[in-house]
Homo-oligomer: A and B are copies of this chain.
Amino acid sequence: MGRLAALGIPAARVDAVFISHLHWDHTGGLAALLGLRAQTNPQVPLAIYGPPGTAEMVKGLLASMKPGAASGYGVPGEGTIDLDKLTSVTELRDRASLAYRGVKVSARNNTHYSFAPESGLAERFEALSFRFDLPGRSIVYTGDTGPSSAVEELAAGADLLVAEMMDVEDTVARTRSFNPDMPDSRSLAMEKHLREHHLLPADVGQMAARAKVKGVVVTHFAGHERDDPAHFEYLRQIAAHYAGPVVIANDLDVF
Contact = CB atoms under 8 A, between A and B. Distances in A.
Contacts of A112: 74
A75 B25 contact: no
Interface stretch (A27-35, A96-104, A135-143, A157-165): A27-35
Interface residues of A, number: 77
Given A24-B65, A31-B31, A56-B64, 20 more contacts: A1-B28, A22-B67, A22-B68, A23-B73, A24-B35, A24-B38, A25-B36, A27-B68, A41-B182, A53-B67, A53-B70, A57-B68, A61-B64, A63-B63, A74-B114, A74-B121, A76-B116, A77-B116, A79-B183, A79-B185
Interface of A: 1-3, 10, 12-13, 21-25, 27-36, 38-44, 52-54, 56-68, 70-71, 73-79, 112-116, 119, 121, 124-125, 127, 175, 178-179, 181-183, 185-186, 189-190, 192-193, 196-197
